Structure 1
């Protein structure tokens, strides 16, 4: 009984801290379009051996977004609670509806390495519906002002929770949550209504 009370107390403290960590960050991105000709790239989810074989190649943003309609969503981290139980499943379950609206790709991105993203995608059995990318150094998220310091949770600087509809590199819709624990506006259902 004492252990249960202590665990509930810790959970409450984590929720308060999680919210506070987010409150001090600027979360609305001023970016209206992605820099398709710049040096920022993402790393397609893959195994370590595939990474070695590709000489650790990255994927330029132009290759991902040029002349395409893309739904992309970012989240704090692979294998974390809301990300695993709600955020990714939201897009897996609505993939057909998004593609029926003309979406060419549905992408999940996080400030993780591509090997962790690959393991997570395989565990979620979501690689048929979604493409997974790592943003190993956070440069993509920093360019959009979509990072948050989650050092208190031993995660460092990470992606905030967000979703977007991008057409030929132009950001048409951007939904950003108030805290990393929130899941109110970055879900697939909300994005479907705005496309």
Structure 2
């Protein structure tokens, strides 16, 4: 798994930007400039991700930016169409950018992939978050049990207070 001090790998992804437009890009291009709050979820529209994880980042966008975050990025192993629909349905457009990791290549490159075949979901991201500055990982947070505690917006805000920009 990626660790503090590691550089973000370069993997092809699709970005749904703050303007709601979709572009082809790479993970290092998105996470490589400024200070980024990155969080990864097992699936768009899945109950915990949709109800407990994403809404906290949407609600705390201004606080995260006031704490020194330049961009907030959410990733999932879903296709770009699902990720765009999720961004729109969640009211996140203009606040959070979304990376569609359709093949799970970024999840693999970060060492954050998990086999959810038992739930008929295939390979997905583990529930995780990172603080990244100019393409280098500052902190990594991974949930060790179901739910959102270590990787939610409140935990990221606490980490930022402990390590301000």
**For 2:60 and 2:91, how far apart are their aligned partners in 1?**
15
Higher Rg: 1
Match of residue 13 from structure 2: 42
1:131-163 residue CA offsets vs partner (Å, 9 max, x unmatched): 111001111111111111110111001001011
SS state of the match for residue 128, structure 1? coil
The answer on whether the counterparts of 1:45 and 1:115 sit within 8 Å (CA) in structure 2 is no
Determine which structure has the larger helix proportion and give its number: 1
The answer on whether the counterparts of 1:163 and 1:174 sit within 8 Å (CA) in structure 2 is yes
**For 1:79 and 1:67, how far apart are their aligned partners in 2?**
28
**For 1:29 and 1:67, how far apart are their aligned partners in 2?**
18
**For 1:94 and 1:139, how far apart are their aligned partners in 2?**
29
Match of residue 155 from structure 2: 190
The answer on whether the counterparts of 2:39 and 2:129 sit within 8 Å (CA) in structure 1 is yes
State whether structure 2 residue 23 is matched by structure 1 residue 60: no
SS state of the match for residue 185, structure 1? coil
State whether structure 2 residue 90 is matched by structure 1 residue 124: yes
TM-score by length of 1: 0.75
Match of residue 60 from structure 2: 94
Determine which structure has the larger strand proportion and give its number: 2
Compute the displacement of 1:31 (Å): 6.4
**For 1:65 and 1:159, how far apart are their aligned partners in 2?**
17
From 36, 41, 50, the counterpart of 1:84: 50
**For 2:5 and 2:42, how far apart are their aligned partners in 1?**
22
Runs of 5+ unmatched residues, structure 2: 161-165
Question: After TM superposition, which residue ranges in structure 1, 4 or more long, deviate above 4 angstroms?
Answer: none
**For 1:126 and 1:108, how far apart are their aligned partners in 2?**
10
